[in-house]
Amino acid sequence: MTPIQRCLTRITVIGLLLIGVIMALVVSVWGSAALQMGAQHLKPILLIWRGLLFVLLIGGWPVWIHMARTRDWITAEDSTRLLRYQWPFALWLLLLEAVLNQGLLLKLVVVILESD
């Protein structure tokens, strides 16, 4: 595992643990209804946040690849290969957003269950 991969793994684990602890504290102090109400209030903000992340990831893809290449995190061959993945990556992110975050998977399950 490269140093950048170790760093990103640590940041991800710490972030997920922090989110879990915060959610557990909210539920234990105010109950699950408060957590659900808070999630409803945060939906517009999180939608904007995800949109900004998409713009930074997809639009900044060549910049990120160039930066990784200049810092010798990746080879020239990897850089060329990764640059070809920009639009498949973008489509994959948008597909995940549509299926998971916009409730399309849940709607599909409901349609399948109601058709029986």
Q: What is the structure's pLDDT at 56? A: 92
DSSP three-state, residue 71: coil
The overall pTM is greater than 0.85: no
Model confidence at 84, pLDDT cuts 50, 70, 90, reads very high
Query: Over the stretch 11-70, which tens digit does the pLDDT of each residue have?
Result: 999 998 998 898 888 878 888 787 778 878 888 888 898 889 889 989 999 999 999 999
Nearest to 64 by CA among 31, 27, 39, 89: 89
Q: Is 51 exposed, middle or buried (0-12, 13-18, 19+ CB in 10 A)?
A: exposed
Model confidence at 102, pLDDT cuts 50, 70, 90, reads low
Q: What is the structure's pLDDT at 116? A: 62
**H/E stretch holding 21:** helix 3-30
Q: What are phi and psi of 30, to 5 degrees?
A: -110, -10
Structural domain boundaries of the chain?
1-30, 41-115
Model confidence at 105, pLDDT cuts 50, 70, 90, reads low
Q: Is 48 exposed, middle or buried (0-12, 13-18, 19+ CB in 10 A)?
A: exposed
CA distances to 20, 51, 71, 90, 101 from 46, rounded to whole Å, are 17, 8, 32, 19, 10
Query: Over the stretch 88-101, which tens digit does the pLDDT of each residue have?
Result: 988 988 888 877 77
